Chains A and B, each alone.
Chain A
């Protein structure tokens, strides 16, 4: 049972050739990851936000995914500005907030959100078999594709198990609080989560083996060559060229 909420849909993006999507999502991510200047990062952020529109993603679902990232970012914002070497711009008792730390935080946040959004728009709008099949066709080594896809799949498996366990706890009247019983329950939950997820992941893999899976992924989706692919490629190439220009030829 793997949820791929975004994979089901019929938007312009859904109908693009997956190869085109994979190539541009990859190029875009690399460029963003390697950029440091804020104008570039703002522009990249803008482009990735715009991408959500033609993909017609469920905004609430997209928000949920961003929320996960948000907690991680919060951690970075709390740690980096205080621990980074640099000019102090603010003093809070024994803590000194460093400018370079803040800048780095802002860069990381912009990069992470942009990359996540572009992946949501371009990659999560195809299902896993199609993605695997596409990577195969783009001559990514088979072992690598397999590793990547299985990792991706197991993330969903873990999520699924988590939801089941949480339901099991909830229906028996568990309310989280600050007491030993709560901590113990949370610890059990986490422990069971990994045990069960790994067993289930193994079963899913076995189920695939039982149906003749031998390391290659096939796709049922027929993508006809269309003008859309060309147009999309032109737009994306232009966008990436602009970003490169902004990054490396500051005015």
Chain B
């Protein structure tokens, strides 16, 4: 799909990156190479325990690689200082929404990021309200985060990430636990965003709606999956009915 022109600088470049959890006897991530270019919408679909979440933690600097080089926005990302800057521009949606929300009210949680980015109260509040509105969460601002349903928590988590207006999104199974209608809304929001992302999902149609290329992970490496070609943004299981090739 997105053939990278040689002169374009990748947003994310991993070269020979390995990671092993302390005490484990194999590398979860093993000599992995990967690039994400501006405008790329990359999907990852791989079995449980293959290291997808670990990969995201490496990209956010929450784990440090045992080997290899991570370059983000054209610069090597090694120290905590590097990652402090990176985290302002890359948004991670945690796999478990309970990990993501920690303020008592929705509004406060969504405004937490913008406030850290140096926005004043007024601006942070506006951004938070706007983001909630875009996600169809009007009227949620004063709800209490720990009393939300699983799906609501997920959407609010996404709002907390989007409120930071990142350049890159890392989405760890965002569609889990969402009903069809909410999922459709999520697809719409993501399609209308003008940013690059890596999307982890186990749902074929969701993934194919939202991404241009799909990778799988095996033995700690990422492999481009030969995707059963579909026209982008068309449900694969309906395409064979409507299309005649």
Contacts and interface: CB of A to CB of B under 8 A. Distances in A.
Contact of B99 (A3, A204, A214): A204
Interface string B90-103: 01101010111111
Given A129-B112, A209-B62, A220-B108, A8 B103 contact: no
B152 to A, nearest CB: 13
A210 B116 contact: no
Contacts of A212: 84, 87-88, 113, 116-117, 164
Interface string B124-150: 110000000000000000001110000
Interface in A46-79: none
A245 interface: no
Contacts of A1: 98, 101-102, 145-146
Contacts of B164: 211-212
A87 interface: no
A220 B125 contact: yes
B27 to A, nearest CB: 21
A212 B90 CA distance: 10
Interface residues of B, number: 35
Contacts of B87: 209-212
Contact of B121 (A7, A203, A206, A220): A220
A213 interface: yes
Contacts of B125: 220
Nearest to B85: A212
Contact of A211 (B104, B113, B144, B145): B113
B115 A127 contact: no
A79 to B, nearest CB: 37
A250 interface: no
B115 A2 contact: no
B197 to A, nearest CB: 15
B124 A220 contact: yes
B121 A222 contact: yes
A203 B164 CA distance: 19
From A2, A3, A207, A211, residue with most partner B Cβ within 10 Å: A211
From B98, B115, B161, residue with most partner A Cβ within 10 Å: B115
Interface in B30-74: 57, 60, 62
A216 B116 CA distance: 8
B99 A211 contact: no
A15 interface: no
A127 B104 contact: yes
B107 interface: yes
B102 A153 contact: yes
A127 B102 contact: no
A218 B99 contact: no
A220 B84 contact: no
B28 interface: no
A187 interface: no
Contact of B103 (A127, A206, A216): A127
B119 to A, nearest CB: 9
B105 interface: yes
Interface in A80-139: 127-129
Contacts of B91: 210
Contacts of A128: 103-104
A207 B100 contact: yes
Contacts of A208: 102, 112
Interface string A1-12: 111100110000
Given A8-B144, A212-B164, A218-B115, A207 B102 contact: yes
15 contacts: A1-B98, A1-B101, A1-B146, A8-B144, A129-B108, A206-B57, A206-B62, A207-B100, A209-B60, A210-B60, A211-B116, A213-B116, A216-B116, A218-B124, A220-B121
Given A210-B87, A214-B84, A219-B121, 19 more contacts: A1-B101, A4-B104, A7-B104, A127-B103, A129-B108, A203-B96, A204-B99, A206-B62, A206-B99, A207-B94, A207-B102, A209-B62, A210-B91, A211-B113, A212-B87, A213-B116, A218-B124, A220-B108, A222-B121
